[in-house]
Amino acid sequence: MKLVFEQTGDELPFNGLNNEVLELFIDKIFVANSQYRRVSEYTIKLKNTINSVNHYLNSIGVDIVFPQVNTLHQTDLNYLHAFWAKNTEKKLKIKDHPALIEHYPDSKTHCTLYEIASKLQLGTLFQSLEDINILVHDIETIFTGNNFFPTEQITYSSVPWASQFSTNDFANISVPRHFTGRTLENKFRNFDDKLEFDDENNWNDMPTCLHINFGRPRTIEFSKEYKDWCKKLDLEPLGNQLNIGNFVNIHENLTTYRTIMYNNIQAGNSFSVRK
C-alpha cells in the first residue's frame, strides 16, 4: 500500500492495518493541508534565533556556537536539543570573559547563560534561549502529531462493523473521529457511567478523511480501569483509534518520508491511497 501524490508521483509506502476498513479509502483523493507549512515558518524563526544568540555570545567572548540544523531530520533536532540543554546549564568561568567581570563580585566564579541574561537584564537573550527549545518541540509536534487530511467534500457512509477494529494503539495513518457523538472509550473518560446519554458513535458514520503522523507507532493496551468499567456494563471494550496503516520502516526512512510530505504539501499537492 502507498500514498501517492498526484502531481509528482512521490510515494509513501505503508503496511496496511484492518484491510476491511482500508478498502473504503482506496483511490480517494485527499487534499493538501496547511499544517505542515508551519514547519517553514518555525524553521526560519529557529535559524534567525540561533543567529541572534550566537552573535551576542560572540560579542561577549563566550565560545558557545549553537548549530544550524536540518529541521526535517530528527537526529539534527535531537542534537540541537541536547546541545541547548547542556550549554544553557554549563558553568562558565567569569574570569575568562572580561565583558562579564564588572557585573559580578569576586566571590562569584561561575555563571550560566541564563544567569548572564538575567544579570545583564538581557530579556531578548533569555527569550531567545527559551525559543530554541520551544521551536524544536513545535517542529517535532507537527510531525509526530496527527494532521487532518480530508477529501474535497467530506462524505459519510454507514459502517456499523468498523468499531470491532478500534484500538488504543498509535499508528501513522488512521481514521479521525470526525463525526457527531462520543466513542465508548470517550464516554468512559467523561464519566457517562450509566450510558444515559444517547450519543455513542464508534465510527458508525465513516468520514472520508485521514489522520497522518510521522511519530513512532506503538501498542497501547486498554487500561484496567476501562476494562473493568466495560465488564460492569457487560460491553466489549472499544478503542479511541481506528488505524489503517504504518509507514514501512519509518525509523530508517523518517527524513525521506518527512521531506516528501513537506515538499508536496508546500506545493499544495493532493494524494490518494493506492495498492
Amino acid 120: pLDDT: 64
Amino acid 168: pLDDT: 95
Amino acid 138: pLDDT: 97
pLDDT tens across 111-159, in order? Answer: 788 777 776 656 688 889 899 999 999 999 999 999 999 999 999 999 9
φ, ψ of residue 151 to 5 degrees: the values are: -75, 170
Task: Tell me what percent of the residues of the chain surpass a pLDDT of 70.
Answer: 94
For residue 241, how many C-alpha atoms fall within 13 Å in the half-sphere facing its CB? 22
| pLDDT top residue among 122 and 264 | 264
pLDDT tens across 34-62, in order? Answer: 878 899 999 999 999 999 999 988 887 88
Find, among 115, 123, 121, 118, the residue nearest to 52 by Cα. Answer: 123
| pLDDT top residue among 248 and 88 | 248
Amino acid 106: pLDDT: 67
Amino acid 259: pLDDT: 97
For residue 76, how many C-alpha atoms fall within 13 Å in the half-sphere facing its CB? 13
| Strand ordering across the sheet containing 243-247 | 29-30, 271-274, 2-5, 11-16, 243-247, 173-174, 209-212, 147-150
Residue 104 has pLDDT above 90, yes or no: no
On average, the pLDDT of the chain sits at 92
Task: Out of 93-97, 177-181, 245-249, give the one with best mean pLDDT.
Answer: 245-249
Amino acid 25: pLDDT: 96
Task: Average the pLDDT over 259-263 and give the result.
Answer: 96
Amino acid 125: pLDDT: 82
Would strands 205-207 and 156-158 be described as parallel, antiparallel, or unpaired? antiparallel
pLDDT tens across 207-236, in order? Answer: 999 999 999 999 999 999 999 999 999 999
Amino acid 132: pLDDT: 96
